[in-house]
A and B are shown apart, each in its own frame.
Chain A
Amino acid sequence: MSRTVSLVLALGVGFFYLPIVVLAIFSFNASSLMAFPLSGFTLSWYADLFGNRAFLEGFLTSFLIAQPVGILGAFIGLMAALAVTAPGLRFRAVFVVLVILPFLVPKTVLSIAQAMLMNWVGLGRGATALIAAQTLVAVPFATTIIAAVLIRLDPRLEEAARDLGATPWQSFRRVLLPQLSGALGAAYSISVILSLADLTISMFLAGRTQPLSLVVASEFRRELKPDLNAMQVSVLVLTAVIVALTELNRRRLRRRASPMRDPE
């Protein structure tokens, strides 16, 4: 690796992680003012966190909403990916545009339009609406992840299964699904993470439900206190754990699958 390459990568990592590192530093800083110079080390902001009921309840709500979003996101993503990579899909371009539409339409506009529609047909806002809307936004990501794996699979395996008399369901269950479990895990994780990170959709569709991002946002408008930093760092660590577990799982599955695909 040349020196230019290392320098560019170092600058890139620096830019991407600078705000996160600063956030972490101030969560351990013994002063309620977030200003330099630093005043010493403390864990009291983390201790405060466990006494803050609004944060804890918000966290529980966010977690409970993220689970169905993760499962539904992966499930719909799987169906969309199977369809889009199938030979003989007519109007493929239209279908692709439809699937990536929630990614491209500004979330504010989409959420307001959804809120108007629900108001009009007389559906209430709340957890169900939030889960449905967040799932839609996760679908483009989940589909891309699963489709990226599907197009690399050997189509002859599925054809062989069908030639040997397997029904479409059997060939899916026995041939495709085992090769997709890593991608499904990744699709689930990214849907969960997008749901945890979302604020815009919650603002318009959460109704009386109060996920963590809304609690933090209302806190944010009033004042900046370091227990908020401790909160953010905790959420970040949790996110990093989800990402790391997903990646480890993917590698484990790939290792297990690889001797089957190319015997040495």
Chain B
Amino acid sequence: MPFSRVHLAFPVALALVLGCVLPLGLLLVFSVFTVDMDAFEMVPDLSGHSWGQILSNPVFAFLIGKAVVSGLVTAGLAALVGYPLALAMARLPVVWKGVANIVLLTPLYTGEIVRIYAWRIVLGSEGLVNAVLKGFDLIDAPLKFLLFSPFTTHLVLLYNNLPFMVLAIWISVELVDHRLIEAARDLGARPVEAFTKVILPLTTPGLAVGLFAVFALAAGDMLTPSLLGGTSGATPMAMIDNLFGTAFDWPLASALALSLLIVLFGCASLMAGLLLRMRGARAVFAGRLP
């Protein structure tokens, strides 16, 4: 068989298997090893000890559950905020769409630490929001819940991941035949009805992709909760980091990391799968209209 583009898949797949799948697979092996705390090294004595701890100690289930809830809340908020933005961007004249794309993606390029840092200045007790509220005499003392609370974590998680949601929905909206929306309006549908009956069903593939990505990214974030969440900022990732670095319990770290991955991918696939099963999405994939 002569060489063709298909064969380029091999080196790429090899790189990804070595750099990504192999390390993750190794987690599975390490999770059944034991640590010899006297020699301070990991020995290949097979034991289910780590998995036993994961299943019996409720702290792990609690942390993973918290990450899942965080991911779901962020994904839901991103969908609510993302739809109006994506619909507005789709209405822009063509020449402005390229600009809108850059404007949307530039904040994404700022480093993780820059964003966290900037939000501290905006939300701090002497920050922008409190200064403005005070200036209008709306509050006497600075609002404390703005910084180092679950509110902060979710606001910044939304900020970090919203561009992915907007992008996914926007592409989907651009693919919808605009005449369908016009037809709905001509036949007397109110804007809300045109949205729920025409736009929403036909853009479910984009919504599913956006929810999947935002959920995975938000639930897997460690820095935002730990640097902005205050006492509420514990995450399974920070726990894994701790077990790996300080406590030197690699088997438990591996078991926790794997449990987290399994739960996250399970939830994300379930969510995206349910959406893609809906009538609108099936119609889009079948290339016909409902």
The interface of chain A, by Cβ under 8 A from chain B, is 1-2, 4-5, 8-9, 12-13, 15-20, 22-23, 26, 33-37, 76, 79-80, 82-86, 88-90, 95, 98-99, 101-110, 112-117, 120, 132-133, 136, 139, 168, 193-194, 196-200, 213, 216-217, 220, 224, 228, 232, 235-236, 239-240, 243-244, 247, 251
Report the bound CA distance from A104 to B127 in whole Å.
34
CA distance A9 to B268 in the complex (A): 29
Total chain B interface residues with beta-carbon distance under 8 A? 83
In the A-B complex, the 5 residue pairs with the closest CB atoms: A106-B220, A36-B131, A19-B118, A35-B126, A113-B23
Checking A4, A98, A199 against B13 with a beta-carbon cut-off of 8 angstroms, the contacting residue is A98
A229–B162 CA distance with the chains assembled, in angstroms = 24
**27 contacting pairs across A/B (C-beta < 8 A):** A12-B85, A16-B162, A19-B118, A34-B121, A35-B131, A76-B12, A76-B15, A79-B12, A88-B4, A90-B6, A95-B9, A104-B213, A106-B219, A106-B264, A109-B237, A112-B257, A117-B23, A136-B19, A198-B112, A213-B111, A216-B114, A224-B121, A232-B110, A232-B111, A243-B105, A243-B109, A244-B102
State in angstroms the CA–CA spacing of A114 and B20 once bound together.
8
Tell me the complex Cα distance, A64–B102, Å: 25
List the one stretch of B24-32, B52-60, B197-205 in contact with chain A: B24-32
* Alpha-carbon gap, A14 to B44, bound state (A): 55
Q: How far is the CB of A20 from chain B (nearest CB, A)?
A: 6
Given A9-B85, A107-B220; A243-B102 close (CB under 8 Å): yes
Query: Using an 8 Å CB-CB cutoff, how does the interface string of B245-265 with A read, 1 for contact, 0 for none?
Result: 000001001100100110011
- Among B16, B17, B100, B105, chain A packs the most CB atoms within 10 A around the CB of B16
Asked if B159 is an interface residue, CB under 8 A from chain A, the answer is yes
Q: B118 to A95, Cβ gap below 8 A?
A: no
Q: Give every chain B residue within 8 A of A244 (Cβ-Cβ).
A: 102
| Secondary structure of the A contact surface, majority rule | helix
Cα–Cα, bound, A104→B126 (Å): 37
Interface residue ranges of B1-42 to A (CB < 8 Å)? 2-9, 11-13, 15-17, 19-24, 26-27, 30
| B12 contact set on A, CB distance < 8 A | 76, 79-80, 83, 95, 99, 139
Q: A79-B12, A136-B20, A197-B111 are in contact. Are A106 and B237 (CB under 8 A)?
A: yes
Task: Report if A168-B20 is in contact (Cβ < 8 Å); known contacts: A113-B27, A199-B113.
Answer: no
B91 touches A1 (CB 8 A): yes
